[in-house]
């Protein structure tokens, strides 16, 4: 069974491969996406190291001269996606790449991806790490120089698509106060998959409104920091940056890059401290979000909250409390195990929706991150559970984009949600099976 599915996973990657990089999903996402490529490279590294390397090189070929790494690189033409390159029009920025790209980013996974690829290669790919290292470092520099206005070590995101968790209920309170124009949008996503599983039209109008503002400001970071109505310190995004810093420290040590290592250590010291003091809510026993524009915390618990484990933020005691409160006894799984791990939003919340995109469904990349987080804290029971749930979903339905977290419905369901033959679901299946002990 697993052997057959491994073959299928490989076929998904091969089918989505485009002469140098891999699209996330045919039709639905027909270009190169930033954090998708990071996860996809992990899958490739097990089966075809040259493709893994090419994936990362292609991604970095879209990097801007100030270190910024866009969330989409439009290497190719495709009519099946909105908003395309003309809507983003990133050439308005003086730093823009000569390639067509978006002007917003995604969670910075490249640091730890590079280290994993190096490990998967049995440490033979150090020259490749060296080839990419400075550019990934420069990307981290970009964040600390431009997106940390109070010098806290925590960086902000300025668009919901930057979070990776596009329509999480966390953003609802921001949209409520935002008077975005009622654009007539030509949605293409809803032509490929069920509209009831996707963000609403009104949400899309807000997403586009933010991009229109960025273009008005020519993607100037200082103006964005000053004026953008969406300015959030997100726990997933910052956890990815911190975890990637850690990897760059280890890899930089191997490469004798003393200055870079010193800088990364200084960033991480400050970042970890602020993450703990600013984003940890002791009453909730969880890491939450901070609305930098409004100057107040956003007290929501989502799968992004648990990415902190992967970055080694909580103490052993706090990690155990999180495990007990949310997983062993609580809302995300609980004693009666009503939910498969890990719902993308707190199942006890009134805003939880088990079918709609990031408002409840299980996503495989977050499961991968949380699995490694549980491992890091020796929470072996939970690591086993999240791995088993992930394999159950992929083995029952195949490589869908997201899945229903309600255990009971799986007796009747016959498919996952969103796009099928989704690249990171396939790539991370390969990694979870082949790389279980990393």
- Active centre residues (catalytic): 166, 401
64 or 237: CB nearest ligand GLC: 237
Q: Which two tokens stand for residue 227?
A: 């004026």
For ligand GLC, the nearest residue by Cβ is: 24
| Strands annotated E in 119-163 | none
Tell the smallest beta-carbon distance from residue 351 to ligand GLC (Å): 17
Task: Calculate the alpha carbon distances from 77 to 74, 87, 379, 395 in Å.
Answer: 7, 14, 45, 33
- Strand bridging mode 289-291 / 232-233: antiparallel
Q: What is the C-alpha to C-alpha distance for residues 438 and 434, in angstroms, rounded to an integer?
A: 10
Tell the smallest beta-carbon distance from residue 163 to ligand GLC (Å): 8
130 or 194: CB nearest ligand GLC: 194
Residues 6+ apart with CB under 8 A from 244: 108, 109, 110, 111, 112, 136, 140
Q: What is the C-alpha to C-alpha distance for residues 109 and 38, in angstroms, rounded to an integer?
A: 6
Residues that bind ligand GLC (CB under 6 A): 24, 29, 33, 35-36, 164, 166
35 or 112: CB nearest ligand GLC: 35
Tell the smallest beta-carbon distance from residue 34 to ligand GLC (Å): 7
153 or 169: CB nearest ligand GLC: 169
Strand order of the β-sheet with 296-298 is 232-233, 289-291, 296-298
36 or 115: CB nearest ligand GLC: 36
Residues 6+ apart with CB under 8 A from 140: 67, 108, 111, 241, 244, 245, 248, 264, 267
Tell the smallest beta-carbon distance from residue 226 to ligand GLC (Å): 27
Beta bridge partners of 343: 362
118 or 204: CB nearest ligand GLC: 204
Tell the smallest beta-carbon distance from residue 36 to ligand GLC (Å): 5
- Confirm if 33 and 102 have CB atoms less than 8 A apart: no
- Confirm if 313 and 275 have CB atoms less than 8 A apart: yes
Residues 6+ apart with CB under 8 A from 267: 140, 144, 153, 245
- Confirm if 161 and 203 have CB atoms less than 8 A apart: no
Tell the smallest beta-carbon distance from residue 356 to ligand GLC (Å): 12
């Amino acid at each position: 069974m697993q052997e057959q599915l491994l073959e299928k996973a490989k076929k998904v990657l091969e089918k989505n491969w485009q002469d140098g990089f891999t699209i996330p999903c045919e039709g639905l996402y027909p270009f190169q996406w930033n954090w998708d490529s990071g996860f996809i490279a992990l899958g490739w590294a097990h089966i075809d190291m040259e493709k893994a390397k090419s994936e990362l090189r292609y991604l970095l070929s879209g990097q801007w001269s100030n270190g910024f790494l866009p969330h989409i690189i439009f290497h190719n033409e495709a009519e099946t996606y909105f908003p395309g390159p003309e809507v983003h029009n990133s050439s308005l920025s003086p730093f823009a790449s000569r390639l067509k790209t978006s002007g917003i980013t995604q969670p910075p996974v490249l640091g730890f991806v590079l280290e994993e690829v190096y490990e998967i290669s049995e440490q033979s790919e150090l020259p490749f790490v060296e080839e990419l290292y400075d550019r990934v470092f420069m990307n981290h520099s970009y964040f600390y120089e431009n997106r940390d206005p109070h010098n806290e070590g925590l960086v902000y995101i300025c668009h919901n698509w930057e979070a990776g968790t596009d329509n999480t209920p966390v953003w609802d309170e921001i949209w409520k106060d935002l008077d975005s124009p009622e654009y007539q949008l030509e949605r293409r996503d809803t032509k490929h998959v069920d509209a009831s599983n996707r963000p609403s039209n009104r949400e899309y109008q807000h997403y586009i409104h933010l991009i229109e503002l960025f273009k008005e400001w020519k993607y100037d970071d200082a103006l964005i920091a000053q004026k953008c109505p969406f300015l959030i310190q997100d726990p997933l995004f910052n956890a990815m940056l911190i975890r990637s810093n850690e990897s760059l420290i280890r890899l930089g040590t191997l490469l004798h890059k003393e200055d870079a290592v010193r800088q990364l250590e200084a960033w991480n010291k400050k970042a970890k401290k602020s993450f703990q003091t600013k984003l940890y809510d002791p009453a909730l026993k969880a890491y939450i979000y901070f609305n930098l524009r409004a100057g107040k915390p956003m007290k929501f618990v989502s799968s992004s909250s648990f990415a902190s484990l992967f970055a080694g933020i909580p103490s052993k005691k706090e990690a155990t409390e999180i495990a007990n409160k949310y997983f062993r006894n609580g809302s995300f799984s609980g004693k009666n195990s009503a939910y498969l791990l890990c719902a993308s939003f707190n199942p006890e919340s009134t805003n939880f929706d088990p079918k709609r995109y990031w408002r409840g469904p299980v996503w495989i990349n977050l499961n991968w991150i949380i699995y490694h987080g549980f491992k890091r804290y020796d929470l072996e029971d939970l690591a086993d559970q999240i791995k088993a749930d992930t394999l159950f979903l992929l083995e029952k339905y195949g490589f869908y984009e997201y899945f229903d977290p309600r255990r009971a419905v799986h007796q009747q369901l016959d498919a996952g949600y969103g796009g099928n033959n989704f690249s990171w679901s396939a790539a991370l299946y390969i990694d979870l099976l082949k790389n279980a002990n990393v």
